[in-house]
Chain A
């Protein structure tokens, strides 16, 4: 996202009165973490204006702080909106907590109490630390009384933090009268005294994860009594936003997980249950650790579900056969391995579990799947998953979707209940219009004749592709070379890119002159990597094949589907493309015919690179 252009377009929408559209655009960019810290604060100001113009119903939040909180309030508005929660944030005067609480007259849902350590650490020498801690605790207790008693609002108490370990240094700062020890003791006292139903934000933990040198900017404390850096302001606002949502709507309930390259490395349909990366090697260890983390989330009450594009039998095999799995099939409340669009599957899971999709979090390594879910189901929280599995746990934690103010026995029992409820249920598959999504992927394919340079990759695909493979003929290198040297052969490769990246060479078609029917091309091999399945890539390739046939004077096509345990996915490919079955299937093999007409073509959302380069067959 070019931020300048982004703000220009949002401002233009606002100026023409299209506030809803402006809010949608802001939410989309914020939800994708596409804006930097400075821009987030600005986005918050724009959100505020658009909320006011549209009279959006908002949760009212007051920030009362012992430091300046102007920046924080804008950042909070923005980060909360990125998480789907509209807030009206009001900001109290600097270090006027009690006065503001006494004077407040409008309805406030949540009061954020943000301490700063000026009195706790620096209020005169020779005062015993315990006296200062007690004083701080008494001060906040007085504030809590006003929040719940006078205003009837929920309490969100932020903890104290230190920037440097203080005069006693690193060695002694953490014990006795050391600054770090005093801060921690004050936080412990606050936590113990906090009334039930209040939220506590452990600032010391949050700044520690980012690093205090980045989280704080001491200069700003002296300039404006605002100690946080821009990045720190945004990070803190994310935590406040998550806590406000936890107080008002509760945490998310369901974690929907992909399988291939999410719970293990590799594609189980290609490698088999023992060929996946899991438990050994750097990748395998990371995937194993992620599984353990997810299992612990389930133990604390997060309901787990699987949504994977796979053959059901393949998807289940690792759970029953691979000894390195930490998760078992029983850990999931719903297990969906199908080729349906993921948004459709998530809706189905929600229906089965009788939960709203707005309580769902989606975790999938494939950016195109995430995009489809974002577009079709904006209520679902989609985690930006990093490429490296070593970063998975951090990414899931940082998204803060499961932050809770308290855990009850009921929470812990929840996943168990959903697992127990798991039964076979019939639910109709609600197919949705995918056109907008497919169009938005901006897929461009480059079809070329197989040449010597591609032979290795082509032979490799022929050797390992199981799912989208019509005949599963495992030709050798020599055989393929012989085929492409025959002038009657049509051998094409397809490379694809979309807005998320380059998929490389993903599909191969090899056709040879049919031995029985003169002028017909027999499709000996047609295969495709499952990374690009269900995106009309096969339709595009089919169209290109037909163009090539026309150029060669081929009048008809002969296709064969040879059923295997793995390729059920393409059982209906030829009928879908208009082919007619030739008699009944024999020994799992069905032959199809298609007479080419000048108008034969399939609908596709893939564009051809041919429009701009010379790479397509002449």
Chain B
């Protein structure tokens, strides 16, 4: 499946897939406003696990400051959209 343009909806869907894998919960559904407090087990170690899984799924690489700046899922999607062009060269 090739996305010519990364709409927020596409990215959210793909991000949600990664969340389900990482948290091992097929019923999990995240929204842009979802924060760590809303998901059970989303602690600092799980956060890194998640970041590494997102990097792999989207073929991007985050810097330490980017990771530190994320407040919610919406921030993550915004960040992925700025990186999307490179990530689509699959």
Contact = CB atoms under 8 A, between A and B. Distances in A.
B52 A224 contact: no
B36 interface: no
Contact of B45 (A68, A219, A230): A68
| Contact-size category for A | 10 to 19
A223 B24 contact: no
Interface centre among A4, A38, A226 (most CB of B within 10 A): A38
B52 A38 contact: yes
| Contact-size category for B | 10 to 19
Contacts of B24: 11, 42, 45
Given A42-B24, A222-B64, A70 B52 contact: no
Contacts of A223: 48, 51, 64, 67
A58 interface: no
A222 B68 CA distance: 11
Contacts of A41: 49
A224 B48 contact: yes
Interface in A229-251: 230
Interface string A1-42: 000100100010000000000000000000000000010011
A520 to B, nearest CB: 61
B48 A220 contact: yes
Given A4-B21, A223-B67, A38 B53 contact: yes
Interface string B43-71: 01100110111001000001110010000
A7 B62 CA distance: 27
B45 A70 contact: yes
A224 B44 CA distance: 8
Nearest to A68: B45
Contacts of B45: 68, 70, 224
B42 to A, nearest CB: 14
Interface string A51-92: 000000000000000001011000000000000000000000
A38 B49 CA distance: 9
Contacts of B48: 220, 223-224, 226
A230 B64 CA distance: 17
A228 to B, nearest CB: 11
Contacts of A222: 64
29 contacts: A4-B21, A7-B21, A11-B24, A38-B52, A38-B53, A38-B56, A41-B49, A42-B21, A42-B24, A45-B24, A68-B45, A70-B45, A71-B49, A219-B62, A219-B63, A219-B64, A219-B67, A220-B48, A220-B52, A222-B64, A223-B48, A223-B51, A223-B64, A223-B67, A224-B44, A224-B45, A224-B48, A226-B48, A230-B52
Given A41-B49, A219-B64, 7 more contacts: A4-B21, A11-B24, A45-B24, A219-B63, A220-B52, A223-B51, A223-B67
Which 5 residue pairs across A and B have the least CB separation, nearest first? A224-B48, A223-B48, A70-B45, A219-B64, A222-B64
